[in-house]
Amino acid sequence: MANQRNVAQKLLDLADIKIGGSRPWDIKVYNKNFYKKVFSQGSLGLGESYMQGYWDCEKLDEFFNKVFSAGLERRVIIKWNLVFHLLKSRIFNLQKKSEAFTIGKRHYDIGNNLYQVMLDKRMVYSCGYWKKAKNLDQAQEAKLDLICRKLGLKPGMKILDIGCGWGSFVKYTAEKYKVEVVGITVSKEQAKFARKLCKGLPVEIRLQDYRDIKERFDRIVSVGMFEHVGYKNYNKYMKVVYKCLNKDGLFLLQTIGSNNSITFSEPWISKYIFPNGMLPSIKQIAYASEGLLVMEDLHNFGPDYDKTTIAWYKNFHKNWDKVKSDYSKNFYRMWEYYLLLSAGAFRSRKFQLWQIVFSKKDVAKVYKSVR
């Protein structure tokens, strides 16, 4: 066990992290089984051992910033574990239509009360735009406004929101731009909430998979949903968008992105947070849309997701007493780990956040980028 601790410390030295150190990003190990779990299970063992209280860190977000900046996650990869996840994703279509509603049940349906105390007043569960914003509410409204300006919304247009969440975008656009909106989600709780939120507006909320959309729209938007599509379905997704978009239409895709093209889910995130979630690369997005859509504009504001997830964590931590009767202490550590790991990943530039505007390939209309 002492040898495993020494090996762990040598690795952490590469990221300037000390076991038992006094700096905010140093870690305290309380259970010697921590080393065995990490060296045998990699990122899955690291996350599970945190949930079990085997170790702690004052600034978990900065710990992960240092880990990712130093590339430590590539040094502690358990090959058999990685091969298992890789083979599973290669052999099976883990995001097939029959599994579409799994993410809704296991992530988005765990309690609207949790998301209400964690998110902004509009309940936007995606990256905010912090260019001029001073707080989370302002950042999320700025993001919604940015999307609308990029799409050039006008009264009377028919809009599709793929992955509408709790209805923030559809309500905003219906009220401010006088458009007709269809929002789809695979979460029963989101659909119920969004229908109530948008009552009286020209908004239709459907509990529906994107592969079942048949009609045409002037504009299509998808914010924070593409991460659930999976690499085997990227081209199918783009074909659906192409089929449903009017000739002069525009499609805006907002997605978290990976610097590398991957074809498997991160084990801990997939098991505890986003079942079979998968981050696309620019290469994969471009390949999937080739021959269908023109990439008119690509806007990366990944560092803004660091600010967004930290704001969510602060809200979650501050309001925990309001919701803790519905959740366990283990859930608190799991959710804390998820939010602060995410912040560190964006801070280190391991993850990106892209807004991409597409038009149809056979349209000569010139798109002017908006910031």
* Mean pLDDT of the 322-340 span: 97
pLDDT digits (tens, 9 = 90+) for 180-193: 999 999 999 999 99
* pLDDT tier at 80, thresholds 50, 70, 90: very low
Number of Cβ within 10 Å of residue 247's Cβ equals 11
* pLDDT tier at 67, thresholds 50, 70, 90: very high
pLDDT digits (tens, 9 = 90+) for 233-242: 999 999 999 9
pLDDT over threshold 90, residue 142: yes
Considering only the top CATH level, what class is 98-360? alpha beta
pLDDT over threshold 80, residue 65: yes
Q: Which amino acid is at 164?
A: C
For the chain, what is the mean pLDDT?
93
Distance, in Å, from the CA atom of 354 to the CA atom of 283, rounded to the nearest integer, reads 13
- Position 365 scores a pLDDT of 77
* Mean pLDDT of the 118-132 span: 98
Residues 114-151: b if buried by 16+ CB within 10 A, e if exposed: bbbbbbbebbbbbbbbbeebeebbebbbbbbebbbebb
C-alpha distance from residue 197 to each of 90, 105, 119, 188, 205 (Å):
40, 21, 16, 14, 10
pLDDT digits (tens, 9 = 90+) for 273-311: 999 899 999 999 999 999 999 999 999 999 999 999 999
Distance, in Å, from the CA atom of 9 to the CA atom of 15, rounded to the nearest integer, reads 10
Reference 199, options 219, 225, 171, 176; nearest CA is 171
Give start-end residues of each CATH 3.40.50.150 domain in the chain: 98-360
Question: Lowest mean pLDDT: which of 81-90, 304-313, 348-357?
Answer: 81-90
pTM here?
0.94
- The answer to whether 265 and 294 are in contact (CB under 8 A) is no
Positive or negative CA dihedral for 106, 220, 252, 96?
A: positive
Contact residues for 240 (Cβ-Cβ < 8 A; gap 6+): 210, 211, 213
Question: Lowest mean pLDDT: which of 100-104, 137-141, 296-300, 337-341?
Answer: 100-104
Q: Are strands 351-360 and 180-185 parallel, antiparallel or unpaired?
A: unpaired
- Position 277 scores a pLDDT of 92
Positive or negative CA dihedral for 68, 72, 78, 79?
A: positive
- Position 88 scores a pLDDT of 53
Distance, in Å, from the CA atom of 242 to the CA atom of 90, rounded to the nearest integer, reads 26
* Mean pLDDT of the 69-95 span: 61
